Amino acid sequence: MSPNLPHSSEAISNDLVTLARWMAGDFSNYKQAFENSKDYAHIHVFFRPLPFDFFSGIGLYSEQVYDYDLWRPYRQGVHRLIDQGDQIYIENYGLKNALYYAGAARDLTILKTITPDCIERRYHCSMIFKRDGDRFRGSVEPGNRCLIEKNGCQTYLDSYVELTETTWVSLDKGLDVTTHQQVWGSTFGPLRFEKRESFAQEVPIG
């Protein structure tokens, strides 16, 4: 077990719990998509809390899906929140057979089938969040080593997130490892989500 992982609720910082509770929910960019459907699809981002004993700490399962196809997420992940004092470090994990767990963010019976054996760490792809007043700001860990191959091109992830209790703003881009030119991701600006349902009460604190 990692030495910086909390063993009880007493070891979990207020900021970590607040971040987890604010993340836990169903976020939708309906307004953005409705106002500018040419540039933005209607997307949901779900974060659903995992049981405390999954990581012996706070973890979340996530899905990103198009509103018209809720059972076929285009991105899934598991996230482990670790308190590092002045920042919250979020390890990111992929699912070995992701489609087996599609819909787990909305159906707790599916969520319960996810175990630590189902996931594998996405090294160099962790996010670092810091509290900034009434919001948290997050970005992918430094080093440009979160590598993603798209269309035969090796890219690294450039990711920025801003989170409040009711909103989630994110901008993900893939940049060419050699030229640093953008290869994929939004060219129209960040996605802007509003929380439609909160799962904050499901966040375990030991």
Q: Is residue 82 part of a domain?
A: yes
Please give the C-alpha separations between residue 86 and each of 60, 83, 92, 170, 190, in angstroms, as whole numbers.
Answer: 21, 8, 19, 22, 26
Tell me which residue range forms the domain holding 194.
9-198
Q: What is the pTM of this model?
A: 0.91
Q: Specify the pLDDT at position 151.
A: 85
Q: Is residue 205 part of a domain?
A: no
Q: Is residue 3 part of a domain?
A: no
Q: Specify the pLDDT at position 115.
A: 97
CATH code of the domain covering residue 165: 2.40.128.590
Give me the tens of pLDDT residue by residue for the chain, a chain 206 residues long: 443 444 444 456 899 999 999 999 999 999 999 999 999 999 999 999 999 999 999 999 999 999 999 999 999 999 999 999 999 999 999 999 999 999 999 999 999 999 999 999 999 999 999 999 999 999 999 999 999 999 899 999 999 999 999 999 999 999 999 999 999 998 999 999 999 999 999 999 86
Q: How many domains does the chain have?
A: 1
Q: Is residue 206 part of a domain?
A: no
Q: Specify the pLDDT at position 206.
A: 63
